[in-house]
Amino acid sequence: MRLISATVRRYRSIEDGSEIAIEPDVTCIVGKNESGKSAVLQALYKSHPIEKSARFDAGIDFPSRLTRERKDNAKIPVTVLTYELDDDDVDALNLKFGVGALQTRTIQVTSSYGSTATSWNGINADVRVAMRHVVRKIDAPSALQKQIDAAATIPQLVETLTSIEAPSADVTQALATLKGWRGADLDLAIIDALSPRRPKFVYFSDYDTMPGKVSIPDLIAKRDADTADRGEQGVMSLLDMAGVTLEDFLEPETHEHLIRDLENASNSISDEVFEYWSQNKNLAVKLTPIGQPETGSLPPLDKAPLLQIRVENQRHRVTVPFDERSRGFVWFFSFLAYFSQLEETAEQPLILLLDEPGINLHASAQADLLRFIDERLAPNHQVIFSTHSPFMINPHALSRVRTVVDVDGEGTKVSSDVLYSDAETSFPLHAAIGVELAQTLFVAPDVLLVEGPSDLVYLEVLSSALGEAGLPGLDARWAVTPVGGASKLPAFLTLLGANKINAAILADSPFEDSGAIERLRKTGKLGAAGVVSIGEVTAADVADVEDLFEAGFYVELVSDAYAGALGGKRIKVADLPPGDRLVKRVEAYFESEGINDGKFNHFAPASALLRGPNRVSKLNKATLARAQNLFAIVNSFLS
């Protein structure tokens, strides 16, 4: 059975709420602080919790602004959960009630204040199919068989079968089956069959971490009273994995056996943690029994024996208490300890609700956690987690994102439409996409940074022309990356260097931020990166990439690009004002003549070169010679 949607209303900051589409594997709830993310997860959890003590409490959970409504109506719906039955569910129902007895795969379960019972809707059952299935083995005389076939309701069929004198074993079994259906109601019987198959919710937050030290007598008392928190349950889960009971600490068979069992438990869970935890592979978790408490220990740690959890750093050969390690590691280990035992002993599927799971993790550790969710949890359990971190959002799976906004006068709203959210709510999405775009820079070990997309076009065309002439062009190992302006080149260069990417810069002459490049060089952040100036190959103090071409060739591109604005006129080189840079001369001409409102787009001629007729053959030998010289310099900086 799989949860496909949920509607939450009248729960804390959620008033009318909204329907939340749930993904079959992972659903990510994104919102800023105090938007209601935790309220959504907690409402889902209390609808069908793994812990019996969790339930809706109208006095605490009902929105305070709507208190009068609660006083007028004791039973108010909180959640409506829509499930889709899987093939195993359908097969089990077909075996119990007959093929086609349940004629839908979608059902709804409603939980309300003031009642521990749930309301099931959408049970579209065919009573006749179910009754025929129950009596299918009965071999009765024709007259009796007609009576059995004529029964239209379950009570009528029970009455007919009860009237049979000397009933056969098949009749007795059929009667037992029918009387076993709650209230002689097929819908209720189907609900009873599906209830054990309905997934239970598991909630885990940043606060549910294991303590560094526990008192065994105190833990036994909490276990027996069912008051242990999730962190303490995680400790008991660790012990269960090793086959150790809390009573073993009171009367251990031998001290050596207990220590060995504790080592087995810590090694088992540590191995699984470090399969996904890449931040520090030199850690190991140790469980250590302590016979006597320290002098002056406060309750409950004044009651012996104690169990201490320590983390050993094998690199530095030192151990520290578990709860003094980084919060991120403590959360990761605590969750896996708590969840592993639940998963092993659960009698039905689980839906995991993780509240801000990566809040204390470094960005790369959050990537580890996402991989853990996708590879370890999602294949067997649906996962719903909340976050406001861009590093917990998979940019390749934005369809799993739901935004949460607290709307004035309406309360918390959840939406699958990211456009519904405000700028603050959607910021993690923007940042996640930005991080992904930044990663596209690292597609090759060698990156050539250029100022704009027109530079990229011209370099590709010139390299292609050299190739057709049998001459070496720009080496294919370069990943040419426009950065959007000369002022951004130093920042990109620093970013690439930090990621051990070999980079070179192709810059206009003079480079407008040569001082920044020099500062990078002096601080050692420039590395082996080379800065290639266009002026080196054009023998000019001032030059742009466009100056690699002959002036007449470039002016033809400008005429093609602005044919509409020119009204059919073709620009000639002689029309341009004097100057050293082609682009600046064209800009001045556009402004003086009022062409295109005096605005000249540098990319327009490059675009005309791409979409127009093949002009490679019109490139003269001088242009190709300059390009060949330029590429030779650039290629010399390959790693």
Among 53-57, 505-509, 579-583, name the one with the lowest average pLDDT.
505-509
Q: Tell me the pLDDT band of 629, cut-offs 50, 70 and 90.
A: very high
d(CA 451, CA 486): 5
What's the DSSP call for residue 408?
A: T
The model's pTM: 0.71
Is it true that the peptide bond before 305 is cis, omega within 30 degrees of 0? yes
| CA-wise closest residue to 161 among 178, 145, 175, 182 | 175
The helix/strand count (H/E) of the chain reads as: 25, 19
Beta bridge partners of 2: 84
**E strands along 48-114, which residues?**
77-84, 106-112
Pairing of strands 350-355, 382-387: parallel
pLDDT at site 107: 96
- Given a contact cutoff of 8 angstroms between Cβ atoms, the answer to whether 85 and 191 are in contact is no
d(CA 162, CA 147): 12
What's the DSSP call for residue 294?
A: P
Geometric angle at alpha carbon 552, from 551 and 553, rounded to 5°: 90
Beta bridge partners of 507: 533
Pairing of strands 77-84, 26-30: unpaired
How far from chain centre, in Å, is Cα 193?
34
Half-sphere exposure of residue 218: CA atoms within 13 angstroms, side-chain side: 18
Among 96-100, 342-346, 497-501, name the one with the lowest average pLDDT.
497-501
| CA-wise closest residue to 66 among 118, 17, 7, 117 | 17
Indicate left, alpha or beta for 527 from its phi (over 0: left) and psi (-120 to 50: alpha).
left
Structure confidence by residue, pLDDT tens digits, 68-78: 787 777 689 99
pLDDT at site 204: 93
Structure confidence by residue, pLDDT tens digits, 312-351: 888 888 888 888 888 888 888 888 888 888 888 888 899 9
pLDDT at site 145: 87
| CA-wise closest residue to 544 among 486, 614, 503 | 486
Q: What are the structure tokens assigned to 514, written together?
A: 């040569």
Interval 484-501 mean pLDDT: 64
SS3 (DSSP) at 206: coil
Beta bridge partners of 355: 205, 386
What's the DSSP call for residue 75?
A: -
Q: What are the structure tokens assigned to 373, written together?
A: 């969710």
| CA-wise closest residue to 479 among 491, 496, 464, 495 | 496
Specify the length of the chain in residues.
639
SS3 (DSSP) at 200: strand
Interval 84-98 mean pLDDT: 95
d(CA 186, CA 412): 38
Amino acid in the structure at residue 453: P
Query: Given a cut of 80, is residue 190 above it in pLDDT?
Result: yes
Amino acid in the structure at residue 308: Q
Query: Given a cut of 90, is residue 219 above it in pLDDT?
Result: yes
Structure confidence by residue, pLDDT tens digits, 350-392: 999 999 998 888 888 888 889 889 998 999 999 999 998 888 8
Q: How would DSSP label each residue in 214-280?
A: EEHHHHHHHHHHT---HHHHHHHHHHHHTT--THHHHS-S-HHHHHHHHHHHHHHHHHHHHHH--S-
| CA-wise closest residue to 378 among 19, 28, 6 | 28
Among 79-93, 204-218, 394-408, 513-527, name the one with the lowest average pLDDT.
513-527
| CA-wise closest residue to 572 among 584, 586, 561, 583 | 586
Q: What are the structure tokens assigned to 350, written together?
A: 């689980």
What phi and psi, each to the nearest 5 degrees, are found at residue 560?
Answer: -65, -40
Q: What are the structure tokens assigned to 603, written together?
A: 């990319």
Query: Given a cut of 80, is residue 23 above it in pLDDT?
Result: yes
Q: Tell me the pLDDT band of 548, cut-offs 50, 70 and 90.
A: very high
> What residue has token string 């302006």?
485
Handedness of CA 89, 93, 98, 102 (dihedral sign): negative
Among 83-92, 479-488, 621-630, name the one with the lowest average pLDDT.
479-488
End-to-end CA distance of the chain: 55
Of all residues in the chain, what percent are helix, strand and coil, respectively (each to 5)?
A: 50, 20, 35
List of residues 6+ apart from 150 with CB closer than 8 A: none
d(CA 337, CA 347): 18
List of residues 6+ apart from 597 with CB closer than 8 A: none
Structure confidence by residue, pLDDT tens digits, 263-310: 877 777 777 777 877 777 778 888 888 888 888 889 999 998 899 988
